[in-house]
Amino acid sequence: MATASSETLVDLPAGVDLHARPAAEFVRAAMAFSARIVISVDSRDANAKSLLSVLALGAKGGTPLRLRADGDDAPAAVAALAGCVAGLRD
């Protein structure tokens, strides 16, 4: 049986950089899923469940983020994380 996968693009809200507090909120949301989740900025990938990896992306407000997940709950994970990113506040 094939593993489910899902992917989407979502813009980081204007004025919200992916620094400690917003990144921690995003990572907490990612940790709720069993799927392998990757967040990408330009050509740089990070494990969405690793705060240090997400912080290292240095994403600034308005930056497009690619969210990719593989696993049984991948579609739900991508949908939830896209909503999480859209709702981030600085």
Give the model confidence (pLDDT) of 38-48 as tens digits.
999 999 999 99
Q: Average pLDDT over the chain, rounded to whole?
A: 96
Domains along the chain? 5-86 (3.30.1340.10)
Measured distance CA(15)–CA(34) in Å, rounded: 30
Do residues 55 and 28 touch, judged by C-beta distance below 8 A? no
In the predicted structure, residue 22 carries a pLDDT above the cut 80: yes
How much of the chain exceeds pLDDT 90, in percent?
94
Q: What pLDDT, on a 0 to 100 scale, did the predictor assign at position 51?
A: 98
For 37, residues 6+ apart whose C-beta sits below 8 A from its C-beta are 30, 47, 48, 49, 67, 68, 69, 77, 78, 81
Do residues 5 and 76 touch, judged by C-beta distance below 8 A? no
List C-alpha distances in Å: 28 to 2, 3, 42, 49: 27, 23, 23, 7
CA 73 to chain centre: 15
What is the set of active-site residues? 19
In the predicted structure, residue 3 carries a pLDDT above the cut 90: no
Give the model confidence (pLDDT) of 64-79 as tens digits.
999 999 999 999 999 9
